[in-house]
Amino acid sequence: MTRTGRAGPAAGRVNTPGTTDVLVVGAGLAGLHTATLLARLGHDVLLVERRATLTAPIRTTGIFVRRTLDDFPLPAECLGPPIRRVVLYPPGLRRPVSLVSTRDEYRVADMGPLYVAAAHAAVDAGVRLALGTRYVGRRDGCFILAGPDGPAGVRARYVVGADGARSRVARDLGLDRNHHLLVGAEEVFEIPAGDEPPTFHCVLDPSLAPGYLAWVVNDGRHAHVGVAGYPDRYRDGLRRALHRFAASAPGLPVTGRPGEVERRGGPIPVGGVLRRIGCPDGLLVGDAAGAVSPLTAGGLDPCLRLSGIAATVLDEALRSGRPDPLAHYEGAALRARFRGRLTLRRALAQVRTPAAAAAAFTLLRTPPGRAAARRILFGDGSFPAP
């Protein structure tokens, strides 16, 4: 096992290559989890992240579903109160459909502290974490990084692309890339405790969220007010749509929105897990692999689960000294298990007018419609096991 110093000691030229077993690019949840698992298995891991801090900017609401909360030990102090109630609204917000689960279904994480806790766990496991360090490409068998001290080359047995929806690693490895993307934006602010139970409000209105939903998550501590949809269908832009929604969004306290809000946003791949996500030189995890539910656009559970599979495959490859196990790391089989959700995504994408959304609510108000919504929102579906 190799142990080397920091990547990128001097400016102006590409420095003498360092070496590592695995270079992980991107310290979102997928990269942090993959790196930690590999380091715990005894491998030398260099994790590089272009942001100088893990607490900003944040690109997720941070809603964790019950299956994730059951299966992964997330730090309790980073999790908001449990949410059991979902209210679905048509355009105009009249006659919403309210669904209440008998179980705790969701918790919204305080993502800044959660990323920091995950980074501490990674470093404790032995991961070398380099913040403010961007992966810029691959040259002569070396991975080139641009860090605070200038460019540096790193030789790695394997590279992991955990670099998000528009993965540069995927491009350099010649793997599949995400083309089917939503974009989302939200505002987050603290709110005073109110009388309403913690609630997830979802508005199906294609003028605000073309092909997806506008949302308010109010867990009694924070409010997240957001919209997401297909970028080419926003007539006056995503930010304006968010502004319009925030002006009349349901489920917010009468005190309204404070002057200071945190802004979040980013692309969301919804085309399903990509087919080619591994090759003899490395693999993709998280959004880079398209591991996001095409219907709900939830990617936190899939990224944790796929990272576990990736770490197992890389461990086998490193122990055997051969890349053969990476041949079995492919998305086609996982993708097939998403067929139902991909069909529902196509159906949601077809809701192009407020009239179509209102018609969908006619179905939703029937007993079978409510039962279907409960299955999607409160079901046990998760990222498929391989």
Ligand X SMILES: Cc1cc2nc3c(=O)[nH]c(=O)nc-3n(C[C@H](O)[C@H](O)[C@H](O)COP(=O)(O)OP(=O)(O)OC[C@H]3O[C@@H](n4cnc5c(N)ncnc54)[C@H](O)[C@@H]3O)c2cc1C
Q: Which residues bind ligand X (CB under 6 A)?
A: 25-31, 48-51, 59-63, 134-135, 162-164, 168, 184, 186, 226, 264-266, 268, 286-287, 292, 297-301, 303
Residue nearest to ligand X (CB): 299
Query: Least CB distance from residue 35 to ligand X, whole Å?
Result: 11
Task: Name the residue nearer to ligand X (CB basis): 27 or 78.
Answer: 27
Enter the tokens of residue 132. 């403010």
CB of 304 closer than 8 Å to CB of 68: yes
Q: Please give the helix or strand (H or E) that residue 17 lies within, else none.
A: strand 15-25
For ligand X, the closer of residues 30 and 357 by Cβ is 30
Q: Shortest distance, CB of residue 303 to ligand X, whole angstroms?
A: 4
Q: How far is the CB of 358 from ligand X (least distance, A)?
A: 26
Residues present in the chain in total: 386
87/97 Cα distance (integer angstroms): 6
CA separation for the pair 260, 255 (Å, rounded): 14
**Within its chain, how far is the Cα of 295 from the centroid?**
14
DSSP SS3 for 308: helix
Which residue pairs from 228-236 have beta carbons closer than 8 angstroms and sit at least 24 positions apart in sequence? 228/182, 228/183, 228/184, 228/185, 228/268, 228/297, 229/182, 229/183, 230/182, 230/349, 231/181, 231/182, 231/183, 233/206, 233/352, 234/210
The nearer residue to ligand X, 62 or 151, going by C-beta atoms, is 62
What's the closest the beta carbon of residue 320 comes to ligand X, in angstroms?
Answer: 27
* Min CB(280)–ligand X separation in Å: 21
Q: Which residues touch 311 (CB under 8 Å, ≥6 apart)? A: 34, 37, 38, 41
Shorter beta-carbon distance to ligand X: residue 50 or 157: 50
User: Which of residues 217 and 252 has its CB atom nearest to ligand X in the complex?
Assistant: 217
Residue 129 CB, shortest distance to ligand X, in Å, is 11
Nearer to ligand X, 276 or 361 (CB): 276
Provide, rounded to whole angstroms, the least separation between the CB of residue 66 and ligand X. 12
Q: DSSP assignment, residue 193?
A: -
Pick the closer one to ligand X by CB: 243 or 370: 243
- Paired with 183 in beta bridges are 229, 267
